[in-house]
Amino acid sequence: MPVWLRDYTWEQTASVVHLALRVPVQGASCGRASVFCTERYLKVNFPPFLFEAFLYAPIDDAHSTAKIENGSVFFTLYKKETIMWESLIMENDDKKKMQKIREDAVLKAQENAKAEAEAKAVQTREHRKLALDATIKLEDAERQRIEEQKEAERKKATEELERWKEQNERQKKVQEKDWSRQEQKKTPGKLKQERSTTKSSNQGTSNRTTRGGSTGNMFSEKLKEESVPAPRSVSSIQIKFTPRVFPMALRESRIPEEEEWLCKQAEARRMINADIAEIEDLTEEEKNPDWLKDKGNKMFATGNYLAAVSAYNLAIRINNKIPTLYLNRAACHLRLRNLHKAIEDSSKALDLLIPPVPDNAKARVKAHVRRGTAFCELELYAEGLQDYIAALKIEPSNKTIEEDAEKIRHIIQGSD
């Protein structure tokens, strides 16, 4: 059963209401705290504590803010009407009216979530359409450039061909003029003698061709056949590629460990579809562990470690075979000083990173370093030094890890 909270203070101006809700620190879970706010309804779930208020007048829930800090929740509520409230909550205890306000708040929240999802989908479609239009424009421009280049080359080749034809025609005209001048210089007797000699030689050639024409034709055909090379023989070249995933020499590889690692990765991918069917009331994006991991990384980068832990928790619930999720959640627990949970998540990540192969070397280094850091924060320096030494064995060239390990040694020696 939830524990209802009544300890709160509030103050107001004509346009703003400041509300401070104090929660006992013992037994309160900051990681699971949630705030639900609409125009007339306010609810804070701070397990195992619960606070619910039916506001005196409507507020602007889009601009109102809430802040959780040190076991307390601070609200800044902007009024829709600039009036002074007589009280924070409704004075009459009309249960039907309160139930109606609660149901309307839930329906409005659902409608807002649906509208936001539809707007996001429309925006995504618009972005894809713009990207497609830009790609089509670039392809059209490139196609136009290629056509213009082809046309320029075609014109250049045509112009060169025309110049070559004109040059040949000029050379022919010059040769004809030279020949006509030589003919004009010869005497009539020499012309008659050359004509008769030419005629007799032409007749002898024609007679020889007539008598031995068939032999000459066969010989020329044979020469043509011998001059043409025989066609090449048809053959095929087979190329075989190594189907292995890890790029290393066969003499240095560990094939059984690599196959075991690949089987684990394939099993993790298969479990995604099997586990998603069991989770209801989630959007398509929230059913994707990779999307949840990216969301958690963004929350971690902005310093919102509690939200990042929530994202990683949901992703692990969908698929608990991805070691990166445990590694990232361990980093969040380190920032939140949940040292035992950081050790637990780092150990779980190391269990999933078996067998040790080059593909998961960086992840194993991170797991050892984060677990060693948590041990050192708990003043268990010997256990922390063991993790730092294990990380150095995987990545001996990391100077930062080497310096941290040396500092831990000095601390252990000083305590001795």
Residue pLDDT tens, the chain, 416 long: 667 667 778 888 888 888 777 766 444 555 566 777 887 777 777 677 777 777 778 888 777 888 877 767 788 888 888 888 777 777 766 777 777 877 888 888 888 888 889 999 998 988 888 888 888 988 999 999 999 999 999 999 999 889 898 888 888 888 888 887 777 765 555 555 655 655 555 555 555 444 444 444 555 555 555 566 677 777 788 887 666 666 656 556 677 777 787 788 777 766 655 555 555 556 777 778 888 899 999 999 998 999 999 889 988 888 888 899 999 999 999 999 999 999 999 999 999 888 888 888 899 999 999 999 999 999 898 899 999 999 999 999 999 999 999 999 999 888 65
In a domain, 170, yes or no: no
Same domain? 319 vs 381? yes
Report the CATH number that the domain containing residue 15 is assigned in CATH.
2.60.40.790
Same domain? 270 vs 403? yes
Same domain? 290 vs 368? yes
Domain end (from 101, 119, 150): 150
DSSP three-state, residue 263: helix
- Whether the CB-CB separation of 335 and 364 falls below 8 Å is answered with no
In a domain, 219, yes or no: no
Same domain? 64 vs 98? no
In a domain, 181, yes or no: no
In a domain, 203, yes or no: no
| pLDDT at residue 2 in the model | 66
Same domain? 146 vs 78? no
Same domain? 132 vs 66? no
Cα-based distances in Å from 13 to 17, 88, 327: 6, 12, 47
| pLDDT at residue 193 in the model | 60
Instruction: State the residue range of the domain holding 118.
Output: 93-150
Domain end (from 82, 116, 150): 150
DSSP three-state, residue 17: strand
Q: For residues 74 and 251, what is the distance between their CA atoms, to the nearest angstrom? A: 64
Same domain? 78 vs 104? no
- Whether the CB-CB separation of 360 and 353 falls below 8 Å is answered with yes
| Burial class of residue 359, CB neighbours in 10 A (0-12, 13-18, 19+) | middle
In a domain, 160, yes or no: no
Same domain? 267 vs 407? yes
| pLDDT at residue 210 in the model | 46
Smallest CA-to-CA distance from 51 within 4, 99, 91, 103 is with: 4
Cα-based distances in Å from 196 to 114, 192, 207, 208: 109, 6, 17, 19
In a domain, 322, yes or no: yes
User: The dihedral of CA 158, 163, 167, 172: what is its sign?
Assistant: positive
| pLDDT at residue 213 in the model | 45
Q: For residues 361 and 353, what is the distance between their CA atoms, to the nearest angstrom? A: 9
Q: For residues 219 and 225, what is the distance between their CA atoms, to the nearest angstrom? A: 10
Entry field: residues in the chain: 416
| pLDDT at residue 386 in the model | 92
Q: For residues 153 and 344, what is the distance between their CA atoms, to the nearest angstrom? A: 70
Report the CATH number that the domain containing residue 300 is assigned in CATH.
1.25.40.10
- Whether the CB-CB separation of 57 and 81 falls below 8 Å is answered with yes
* pTM metric for this prediction: 0.37
- At 34, which helix (H) or strand (E)? strand 34-37
In a domain, 212, yes or no: no
**Dihedral over alpha carbons 207, 210, 212, 215 (to 10 degrees):** 150
Same domain? 358 vs 393? yes
Same domain? 40 vs 107? no
Same domain? 405 vs 273? yes
Same domain? 59 vs 121? no
Domain end (from 42, 70, 91): 91
**Dihedral over alpha carbons 182, 183, 186, 190 (to 10 degrees):** 130
How many structural domains is the chain composed of? 3
In a domain, 19, yes or no: yes
Q: For residues 334 and 341, what is the distance between their CA atoms, to the nearest angstrom? A: 8
